[in-house]
Amino acid sequence: MHYKAVKVFNNNVVLAEEEDGKQVVLISKGIGFGVKKGEHISADGNDKKVFYILDDNVNASEIKRLSYDIEKVEQVTHEIVQIAREKLDITSDKLYDALFDHISFAIERLKMGLPIDNPFIGEISIMCNREYEVAENAASLIKQQIDVDIGDAEKGFIALHLYSARRNKHINVAMKSARVFKQAVTMVERRYNRTFDTSCSACKSFLMSLNRLVNVSANKKVISMPIKDYVKLYMHEYDVTAQAIAAMIKTELGVDFSEDAKAFLAVSICKFIQM
């Protein structure tokens, strides 16, 4: 779709016309850069947002507000990236664009009253604990500068973006790890007919142990559990569960637990159930 520019508010917001003369607001990063009144703009692509003006009485101040909001998002995103670079030593040059697009979309949803759900928030806060701390700083900045409370679910998504940037992996890989951690908790729940809130201390403790075991095993570091034979013999019930979770992790994440690591996991499961 092509549009004719009527007024350029800034690099990201343009008032334009369709071929039939209907006015629209085009919002996308850089869409107005170098564009002059009367020139044609292509708004193809999933990153372009088109808002139709249905009320003829709409005034430019409302459109300027959209422009102003985007400038605020740009500023706060720059600040978040700077904090991430300092605290997490992130060097990826793709982080700004990823965060800007994500935060912009989240703010749009929240302002329209659409809830943001994150079923992996408990797992993310443990798996990406350093990134989650920066995400909490990001939430404070967004609240201060844009007056939007993004909530815990969105903090989790921002933490995932930071985690994937720090490890130079696609965010889908980070999301898969969070899903696997949740699946591990679900396996424990089903085997012992229990239900846990991921925010409870017992669940957090289990997830922290699991996270350490995954990281150590993934890095091929040696884990020593001198009483692993005792665990197999006298904690057989928990050992069976640990073996099942370890097999799932190997299938999903490609991380192989040693027998010592599985014994540690069995003890962690025992503590989880008893707490």
Express each pLDDT in 160-201 by its tens digit. 999 999 998 888 888 999 999 999 999 999 999 999 988 889
If asked whether residues 148 and 215 sit together in one domain, one would say no
126, 153, 169: which is the final residue of a domain? Answer: 169
If asked whether residues 165 and 198 sit together in one domain, one would say no
pLDDT of residue 93: 87
Q: Is the pTM of this model over 0.85?
A: no
CATH number, residue 143: 1.10.1790.10
* Residue 51 DSSP SS3: strand
CATH number, residue 37: 2.30.24.10
pLDDT of residue 50: 65
If asked whether residues 92 and 132 sit together in one domain, one would say yes
Q: Position 230: which residue type?
A: Y
- Tell me if 175 is assigned to some domain: no
- Tell me if 178 is assigned to some domain: no
Domain residues for the domain of 222 are: 193-274
* For range 34-46, the mean pLDDT: 78
Share the mean pLDDT of the chain: 87
If asked whether residues 54 and 68 sit together in one domain, one would say no
Q: What is the pLDDT of residues 74-116, one digit of tens each?
A: 899 999 999 999 999 998 888 998 898 889 878 877 876 777 8
* For range 9-21, the mean pLDDT: 79
Q: Count up the domains in the chain and report the number.
A: 3
Q: Where are the beta strands (DSSP E) in the chain?
A: 2-8, 13-17, 23-27, 40-42, 49-52
Question: What number of CA atoms fall less than 13 Å from residue 152's CA on the CB side?
Answer: 9
Q: What CA–CA distance (Å, rounded) separates 26 from 10?
A: 11
169, 203, 229: which is the final residue of a domain? Answer: 169
12, 29, 58: which is the final residue of a domain? Answer: 58
* For range 128-143, the mean pLDDT: 96
If asked whether residues 130 and 225 sit together in one domain, one would say no
pLDDT of residue 223: 93
- Tell me if 182 is assigned to some domain: no
If asked whether residues 220 and 155 sit together in one domain, one would say no
Residue of higher predicted confidence among 48 and 87: 87
If asked whether residues 40 and 72 sit together in one domain, one would say no
Q: 54 pLDDT band (50/70/90 cuts)?
A: very low
8 A C-beta contact, residue 175 and residue 160: yes
- Tell me if 30 is assigned to some domain: yes
If asked whether residues 71 and 148 sit together in one domain, one would say yes
- Tell me if 210 is assigned to some domain: yes
pLDDT over threshold 80, residue 237? yes
- Comparing 19-23, 141-145, 158-162, 249-253, the range with the smallest average pLDDT is 19-23
Q: What CA–CA distance (Å, rounded) separates 122 from 241?
A: 21
- Tell me if 180 is assigned to some domain: no
Q: Which tokens is 117 given?
A: 């759900």
